[in-house]
Amino acid sequence: MVDFLNACVDVLTDEAAIGAAARFAAVLAFVATGEWVAERAGTLNISVEGMMLAGAFAAAVGLDASGSMWMALGCGVAAGVAVAVPQAEMSHRLPADQFVVGLTLNILVLGVAGFLDAELDLVTHRAGSVEVPLLVDLPWVGPALFGQPWPFYLLYPLVLSAWWAMYRSRWGLEVRSVGEDPQAADVSGVDVNRRRRQAVCVAGATSGLGGAYLLVGQVGRFSDGMVGGRGFIAIAAVIFGGWTLRGAIGGCVLFGAVLSFRLTLPQLGYDAVNTEILQAAPYLVTIVVMAVSARRVRPPAALAQPFLRGLK
């Protein structure tokens, strides 16, 4: 137990480990921000895994074709939205079961991306790091928050924009209302399923951007297994955060720290720790967090419930 606590202290005080935690948390935060919007609208968007993978693959294609990082990020966003559209249309126009549609899209994207990756020889690379003057010199967290690959900094305006849109705009009020009481929102003149479709598309855009950032900001090369369950971890972060934006970001930081712990521990000389346990740690923590959060938070009242006009 003492060795474990010493290892935790070493990881938490290691600059490289803190930087890695910030990068891992950023990927989750891109996704969780949009997923938070979708869930506040009443959609449990299981297809975020496929949105991330599609975003990463499209970013690789865009970067290989143009050599532009901006093009790569734009392609990632477009691919995420392309996966979100069938999710939104089938869940909130037909309506089909949200979970079945999401799982089907995840499997479809995995198969298509894996096939195309084998057929194409994509040349990609990581984005360069940019240090923010003065802020990068802050003790402990400076390099982690202000010395990252430049796409990392897109997260700051994204989170602020999501907060403003949800709490300072009419659109955000309507989105929150359709997640809490869709019948009352419908009576007030809000097109419930339209708002839900829009919220899912927002999740697609941010998830695609998260997948693109995973490619250009961390990994540097596409593989069909690169997402590795991060989409589901982002969903867990939203639930852990009690469906609040700050709580979701806090959950992303927690899971990012666990991912960093798994990779950094062997580099710090703790070779005696079981490798399989380290690999399973993020998912074990996810399960524990979900079990604890399920009893202490209240989800949006209409979460995962299809809306049919006139029916309670």
Give dist(CA 123, CA 62) in Å, integer: 10
* CB 258, CB 281: distance < 8 Å: yes
DSSP 3-state of 67:
coil
CA 236 to chain centroid: 10
pLDDT at 262: 74
* CB 12, CB 18: distance < 8 Å: yes
**What CATH number is given for 2-296 in this structure?**
1.10.3470
Give dist(CA 243, CA 166) in Å, integer: 12
* pLDDT tens-digit profile, the chain (312 residues): 445 555 555 556 667 778 888 999 999 999 999 999 999 999 989 999 999 999 999 999 999 999 999 999 999 999 999 999 999 999 998 878 899 999 999 999 999 999 999 999 898 999 999 999 988 988 888 888 999 999 999 999 999 999 999 999 999 999 999 999 999 999 999 999 999 999 999 999 999 999 999 999 999 999 999 998 899 999 989 988 889 999 999 989 988 888 887 777 666 555 555 566 666 777 777 777 777 766 677 889 989 888 877 555
Phi, psi of 129 (to 5 degrees): -80, 145
pTM for the model: 0.92
Among candidate residues 249, 244, 235, the one with its CA nearest the CA of residue 298: 244
pLDDT at 10: 57
pLDDT at 2: 45
Q: Alpha carbon of 231 to those of 45, 48, 134, 286: distances in Å?
A: 10, 5, 34, 12
Sign of the four-CA dihedral 143, 29, 25, 240:
positive
Partnered with residue 40 across adjacent β-strands are: none
Question: Exposed, middle or buried by CB within 10 Å (0-12, 13-18, 19+), for 139?
Answer: exposed
Give dist(CA 249, CA 49) in Å, integer: 18
Among candidate residues 145, 194, 173, 172, the one with its CA nearest the CA of residue 15: 145
Cβ atoms within 10 Å, residue 66: 13
pLDDT at 278: 64
Give dist(CA 190, CA 62) in Å, integer: 38
pLDDT at 1: 46
Give dist(CA 160, CA 20) in Å, integer: 23
pLDDT at 76: 97
Q: Which two tokens stand for residue 189?
A: 């003149």
* CB 104, CB 87: distance < 8 Å: no
